[in-house]
Structure 1
Amino acid sequence: MTTLVLASASPRRHELLATLGVQFLLDTADIDETAVPGEVPLTYVQRMAREKAATVVSRRDDGFAVLAADTTVVIDGDILGKPRDHFSGLGMLARLSGRTHAVITALCLQRGDAVWECDVSTRVTFLTLSREVCERYLATSEPWDKAGGYGIQGLGGALVSSIEGSYSNVVGLPLAETWQLLAAHGVATTLGGLDE
């Protein structure tokens, strides 16, 4: 079986990957995550996942498979990253309030020169939020390290009225697609291979 390296510092990704029973090492990729002018959100997350995987593979000589992922929140075609400060967090929540947005994750698994990729999109609809509710949420520690400025797995879940698609994708790692990608390429999981 193939040893896996996860190219992510996200504690949520660590927890989700561990849920699959995968044994893995951590080796984070510190790359420039600036979008290219005019870059569409799907192309952006695919490029980020690919660059994270390639960065980690390039500095290892053990031949291990590297899994990288990138997740972004998209509304009106705009990429919402992590809030920089209170003002940007408030602006993000105001844009999401009462509306539906997409959460897109790109996965990239690389071993040597071989690269396998997939992407997942989930539609999330927010309740209509008052300024006071937004301010109270921003007063917690939760929004600051998350794309779109909210965490569905925590208090931010109370802001969500409905979801279409993968819940774990919104948390940061789509479990079904991750399992299928890993199982298809020899990485051991609790569920085994796709055809077992």
Structure 2
Amino acid sequence: MLSAKLHKYNVILASKSPRRQTLLKSLDISFTVDTKEVEELYPDKLKHSEITDYLADLKAIPFKKELKSNDLLITSDTIVWIDNKALGKPKNYEEAYQMLKKLSGTTHEVITSICITSSFFQHTLNDTTIVHFRKLLDEEIDYYIQTYKPFDKAGAYGIQEWIGKIGITKIEGSYFNVMGFPVHKLYKELSKL
């Protein structure tokens, strides 16, 4: 259905994330993957979804000069928001451990923004999911990091992995938003084209 609407577009997903690629495939859209290195820095004054909106937009900038009239670029960014602070991707074991200790036994928000860019328009949308974690044992955190190496994931965890299955007690909002991006919102936005 959506693929028929988008047949005139060359859809480009600018993400190395296998989860985002899987989610976009699940919408039956034909697309290619192309990524460009971007330093994911944002102004300190930004809060909550302002951060992910800013970073999703930032990831589109290196593509703008080369977009053809039928190109449709999708960029995205996710953070975990807890105690009025953003958790991005951990750089190493220690950072991942500290992040999961912080999330253990608490509630946090997962915020994902999607930026849709063409040569003649740009639109950014976001979604927030509330995630509840039970108290995690130190050995569970250690096992998860050693086994799953969650260094490419905001907040150092993947909801679809072992830690999500044993640690998450409840979510309020979109599961897929936590996994990669809010597929329902992306579908609705692309349907308007």
Structure 2 gap segments, 5+ residues each? 1-7
| Runs of 4+ residues deviating >3 angstroms | 60-63
Matched with 1:173 is 181
Q: In structure 1, what is the Cα distance between the partners aligned to 2:161 and 2:149? A: 8
Give the Å deviation of 1:55: 2.1
Q: In structure 1, what is the Cα distance between the partners aligned to 2:180 and 2:72? A: 20
Q: Where do residues 179-190 of structure 1 align in structure 2 (5 Å cutoff)?
A: 179-185=187-193
Q: In structure 2, what is the Cα distance between the partners aligned to 1:96 and 1:26? A: 32
- Counterpart of 1:83 (choices 77, 90, 99) is 90
Matched with 2:101 is 94
Deviations 1:118-159 (A, max 9, x none): 110000010101212111111113422110000111112121
Matched with 1:45 is 52
Matched with 1:111 is 118
- Given that residues 12 and 33 in structure 2 are in contact (C-alpha distance below 8 angstroms), is that contact kept between their aligned partners in structure 1? yes
Give the Å deviation of 1:51: 1.6
Which one-letter code corresponds to 1:79 in the other structure?
A
TM-score, structure 2 normalization: 0.91
> What secondary structure, in the 3-state scheme, does the structure 2 residue paired with 1:66 have?
strand
Q: In structure 2, what is the Cα distance between the partners aligned to 1:28 and 1:72? A: 19
Matched with 1:144 is 151
- Given that residues 103 and 170 in structure 1 are in contact (C-alpha distance below 8 angstroms), is that contact kept between their aligned partners in structure 2? yes
- Given that residues 108 and 118 in structure 1 are in contact (C-alpha distance below 8 angstroms), is that contact kept between their aligned partners in structure 2? yes
Residue 156 (structure 2) pairs with residue 163 (structure 1): no
Matched with 1:6 is 13
Q: In structure 2, what is the Cα distance between the partners aligned to 1:43 and 1:163? A: 22
Give the Å deviation of 1:2: 2.0
- Counterpart of 2:128 (choices 112, 121, 135) is 121
Q: Where do residues 53-72 of structure 1 align in structure 2 (5 Å cutoff)?
A: 53-61=60-68, 63-72=70-79
Deviations 1:69-103 (A, max 9, x none): 11111101111111111111111011100100000
Q: In structure 1, what is the Cα distance between the partners aligned to 2:35 and 2:64? A: 11
Q: Where do residues 12-51 of structure 1 align in structure 2 (5 Å cutoff)?
A: 12-51=19-58
Structure 1 gap segments, 5+ residues each? 186-196
- Given that residues 49 and 69 in structure 1 are in contact (C-alpha distance below 8 angstroms), is that contact kept between their aligned partners in structure 2? yes
Q: In structure 1, what is the Cα distance between the partners aligned to 2:58 and 2:45? A: 18
> What secondary structure, in the 3-state scheme, does the structure 2 residue paired with 1:93 have?
helix
Q: In structure 2, what is the Cα distance between the partners aligned to 1:8 and 1:59? A: 17
TM-score, structure 1 normalization: 0.89
Q: In structure 2, what is the Cα distance between the partners aligned to 1:28 and 1:46? A: 18
